[in-house]
A and B are shown apart, each in its own frame.
Chain A
Amino acid sequence: MEGIKIKRIIVEPEAYSYPFTQRILKKLQGIQVCNKIENNSDIDYVPYDPKKDVLHLLIYKGDFLKPCPGTKEYICCKYQILNIATNCPLDCSYCILQAYFNHPYLRVFVNIEEGLKEVLKIIDSKKDEIFRVGTGEFTDSLALDPITEWSDILIPHFSSRKNVILELKTKTANIKRVLSLPYRERIIMSWSLNSPFICSHEEHRAVSLRKRIEAAAICQREGFVTGFHFDPLIIHKNWKEEYLKTIELMDKYLDPSKIIWISLGSFRYMPELKNIIIKRHKKSIVLNGEFIKGIDGKMRYFKPIRIELYSYMYENLSKWYNDLGLYLCMESDDVWSESFGWSPKDSNGLKRFLDNRVVKFYG
């Protein structure tokens, strides 16, 4: 299954009857299936042993569409998260999910088809609003796609609506299913990018930077609009040269006019994550910076360091192409102004900026 190995499947009793469950079980025939979580000690030490090879099929009882959990202290883009799964088979050292969820396993919600109906009702009821929806916040959008076939379920519905875009954000090259579908409109294929060093040293199980960019180039050629996310930007040895290498690779493979946006965000983490990184990723360098407690309680680089990072990226990306829809993720008005020379002022302003990008690309 394109690099992802599932060793065990846990199916909650009420999840069995769902066609989604049945499809997965058929696809993963031969893999051990159990009916419920058998050993509670499995759950005790979650952060240190996240069990990324166990698929947990269950029903999600909350709202499938949720606003991104941004904080009011910093400017948020007002993105909507389509909650199809939590936890991720990839294993980035800096991944916030390690401290975010108090359960192990790759949790996949089998009632997605029912949930989707509700989500579409909401979207259809607010025709004047543009919904920017993504599945890549609590998991990687495509890492499990060969098993779950999420793209088959989601893409047709989003592609046919005029007030929504669906962004599939990934660090994989699992684009086969998406490409095989006849839909291109309003589906944004996005990749998280970093410096070649960070990609290979910190983003375990993800494909190489080159493969991500090659996959993006294929999608562009196949008619998709693409997006990119430099998040988290990380200070490391020769970071300027390293990030420049990434921009050079982008230049080599990509058509910048087909990029709807590129977000920049510097590494930030909940204080609890530090210990988890130290224990789980002994060789990681992501904590080697000057981190202070931000106004939202998360640790982030001292402000002038962030400004230096953003200004550098802004300058070099803009040199490549000056209409990339560059924006900052969870930053303050003053950091925006100092790094970019302009600011959306508040979250509504940023939403407007990104909605306008959607209009520009899709009308």
Chain B
Amino acid sequence: MNYILDYIELDSIDTESAPFSFSYGFNISHLVDSIQQVGLINPPILKKAKDSFVLIAGYKRVLALKKLRWSRVEGLIILEDIPPLKCLLINLHDNINTRKLNEVEKAILISKLAEYMKPEQVIENYFSLLDLPKYMPMYNLYIWIANSLSKKIKDRLASGDISLKTVRFMYENEIPCDDIEIYGDLMSKLKFSFNEQMQLIEYTQDICRKEGIKLKQLFEEKEVKDIIESKSLTNRDKSKKILNLFRKKNFPKLYHAEDVFKKRVQRLNLPSGVELKAPPYFESPYYKLEIAFRDGHELKRKLLDTINTEGIELVGDPWKE
């Protein structure tokens, strides 16, 4: 490739369109710091346009320099007229060797590659490079992320507030865009683990489908609002309470059974270190007794105390009187 290293005015570099960049959700302050300390190590790669230079690689570096109010930068200027796909690939390899792309960046890159080749080729030639499994639904997911998600949700995905698994779940379940925004807002306000994010979506979508209401309506219900707007609860408490509320709405009979069982066991006054456990969802007919003990004497004593616990014979399925 024919190129020269030369100094160029920063103002002459077009950072508005950045057609080959797929950087997203970055914070340039670290880069600014590093340039301040050791200067610019890697020159940006550019090609000449009519009255300006088009950035091929080094978008963040140029932004950092502009922030530092540099006026000139030494850039690697490609002299020949290389096709856009090649520019995109130069930028890809410039990035992929030095850092991991976030999910939104992968999505932008895939959608840009898709402008130049068939989906099958994108998958075959680039998915391994991006650490992605080679199959069409994955491609479709990333195209959807690039083209259909709002900036707000993309920001949260790029920052890791929302997991890819959650986004994929929303995609596969064809969650409407309005709903995705609502989830995005809630997930940024309250703290949900990735598993809880999925549960939240599943519970609420099920409730809306069963009750024939919109998600917005569900979130406007008083008991939901009371939790979200509570001044006394921490964000973590709020997320737990919200999930619990939606679980109760979704599984009223199971929830009630668990509650009755818990209360019955509490009333039993079992010896300390002795626990009675219900089978998952009460599906198996077998309950379990767990006893913590130090030696045979203690075991014998606890067993006898357990047997003699008043009301122990009433333990059983909570829906039976």
Contacts and interface: CB of A to CB of B under 8 A. Distances in A.
Interface stretch (A12-20, A219-227, A291-299): A291-299
Nearest to B210: A288
A292 B253 CA distance: 11
Nearest to B250: A290
Given A44-B136, A275-B173, A302 B209 contact: no
Contacts of B280: 292-293
B320 to A, nearest CB: 9
Nearest to A293: B281
B173 A303 contact: no
Nearest to B254: A302
Contacts of A44: 136
Given A275-B172, A278-B173, A287-B209, A304 B253 contact: yes
State which size class the interface on A falls in.
Answer: 10 to 19
A129 interface: no
Contact of B174 (A279, A287, A302): A279
Contacts of A279: 174
Nearest to B205: A278
Interface string B257-274: 100000000000000000
A334 B286 CA distance: 10
Contacts of A295: 283-284
Given A44-B136, A305-B253, A292 B172 contact: no
Contacts of A305: 253
Given A290-B252, A304-B257, A334 B285 contact: yes
A304 B283 CA distance: 10
A332 interface: yes
B121 to A, nearest CB: 15
A102 to B, nearest CB: 13
Contacts of B250: 290
Nearest to A289: B210
Instruction: Place the interface of chain B in its size category.
Output: 20 to 34
Interface string B158-183: 00000000000000111000000000
A287 B206 contact: yes
Contacts of B284: 295, 332
A72 B319 CA distance: 26
Nearest to B174: A279
A295 to B, nearest CB: 6
B313 to A, nearest CB: 18
Contacts of A293: 280-281, 283
Interface in B293-321: 317, 319
B261 to A, nearest CB: 12
Interface in B216-263: 250-254, 257
A334 B173 CA distance: 36
Contacts of B194: none
Interface string B199-218: 00000001001100000000
B24 interface: no
Contacts of B253: 290, 302, 304-305
A211 to B, nearest CB: 30
B282 interface: yes
A137 B281 CA distance: 29
Contacts of B172: 275
B39 to A, nearest CB: 52
Most B CB contacts (10 A, CB to CB) among A275, A304, A332 go to: A304
B206 A294 contact: no
A303 B209 contact: no
A335 to B, nearest CB: 9
Cβ-closest 6 pairs across A and B: A292-B281, A334-B285, A304-B319, A288-B210, A302-B254, A290-B251
Interface of A: 44, 275, 278-279, 287-288, 290, 292-295, 302-305, 332-334
29 contacts: A44-B136, A275-B172, A279-B174, A287-B206, A287-B209, A288-B209, A288-B210, A290-B250, A290-B251, A290-B252, A290-B253, A292-B251, A292-B254, A292-B280, A293-B280, A293-B281, A293-B283, A295-B283, A295-B284, A302-B254, A302-B282, A303-B281, A303-B282, A303-B283, A304-B253, A304-B319, A332-B284, A333-B285, A334-B285
Given A288-B210, A302-B254, A304-B257, 19 more contacts: A278-B174, A279-B174, A287-B206, A290-B251, A290-B252, A292-B254, A292-B280, A292-B281, A292-B283, A293-B280, A295-B283, A302-B281, A303-B283, A304-B253, A304-B319, A305-B253, A332-B284, A332-B285, A334-B285
